[in-house]
Amino acid sequence: MNCESSIKSKEKLLEQIKINKEDLSFYLQDYLKCLLDLEFSVTKPYINERERLALEFRDIYIEVMAFNLYYRTKAIFETNNYPVGIYGNSQSFSVYTDLTRKMTKVFEFYHGTNHSYHLNYNHLSIYEYIQTLKTKNEILVYLSELIERIRNEKNPYPNRIMKYTSSLWESNHKQIIESYELGYQEVVNRSPTIEDFALAALTQEIKEEFYKEYDLKDDDFEEATPRTLTDDFHINTGMVKRLKDIEIRRDINYF
């Protein structure tokens, strides 16, 4: 897919509004300029459905929307003095924190367009880190049941007929059980640090700030990926909220 490499500058977009002024009402021109001035989010209902439809497939609206989303989103991090670093370019950026003494992603923004097919992509991902005793117990129960289930598996290869394959299966089977037993013990001994709680508090604060920006709440999201156990024995799940040309994801990590 042929995507634009960057979001256009404010100056170029103002020039495009002038070029398109014959096709846009004065109100819509003013609306687009307000979006460029970052006075409010493009998701706010400041135009009606008929006016939105008049803009929907226009390149100028697609590009102004991306500009508004990109810079208002970035401003959330730049004005709130979060302990984070912002890395990226004029098409996408990621936000990391080192609260846990390692670089941990807390947010990601990506924009892409294909004008030939009138496709517009604005992806915002919020990474949440949540610590609860309930989750720890849930992981322990899951691992305990998994280990028991694996232990009860029967070797599918007759020993006399397929001696080598049977022996290999037994060896792999033992290693799998031992790895999950080690994981179980790791979870038992796991104790969240002050830094872990600080990370959880930070990501919740960031989430609430984005909820205010986009008028969202937890119930607005639907499950995108089911709860799964990660390689380092944490639980992860994904939630999504789709707006017109915007997808907002919650990547939730329980530890």
Position 20, amino acid: N
For the chain, give percent helix, strand, coil, nearest 5: 50, 25, 30
pLDDT-derived band of residue 1, with 50, 70 and 90 as boundaries? very low
The residue-averaged pLDDT of 134-143 equals 90
- What are the tokens at 40? 């409010």
Please report the pLDDT score of residue 116 as a whole number.
53
219 lies in a domain?
Answer: no
Task: Give the span between the Cα atoms of 234 and 230, in whole angstroms.
Answer: 5
Please report the pLDDT score of residue 135 as a whole number.
86
> Are 111 and 69 spatial neighbours (Cβ–Cβ below 8 Å)?
yes
143 lies in a domain?
Answer: yes
235 lies in a domain?
Answer: no
Q: The tokens 């600080």 sit on which residue?
A: 198
86 lies in a domain?
Answer: no
149 lies in a domain?
Answer: yes
- Specify the number of domains making up the chain: 1
156 lies in a domain?
Answer: yes
- Does position 117 have pLDDT exceeding 60, yes or no? no
Its pTM surpasses 0.85: no
> Are 72 and 213 spatial neighbours (Cβ–Cβ below 8 Å)?
yes
> Are 220 and 203 spatial neighbours (Cβ–Cβ below 8 Å)?
no
3-state SS class at 175: helix
Buried b or exposed e, range 127-145, using 16+ CB within 10 angstroms: bbbebeeebbeebbebbee
**Domain of 170, in residue numbers:** 137-186
178 lies in a domain?
Answer: yes
Summarised one tens digit per residue, pLDDT across range 202-211 is: 999 999 999 9
Please report the pLDDT score of residue 120 as a whole number.
61
pLDDT-derived band of residue 9, with 50, 70 and 90 as boundaries? very high
- Does position 32 have pLDDT exceeding 60, yes or no? yes
202 lies in a domain?
Answer: no
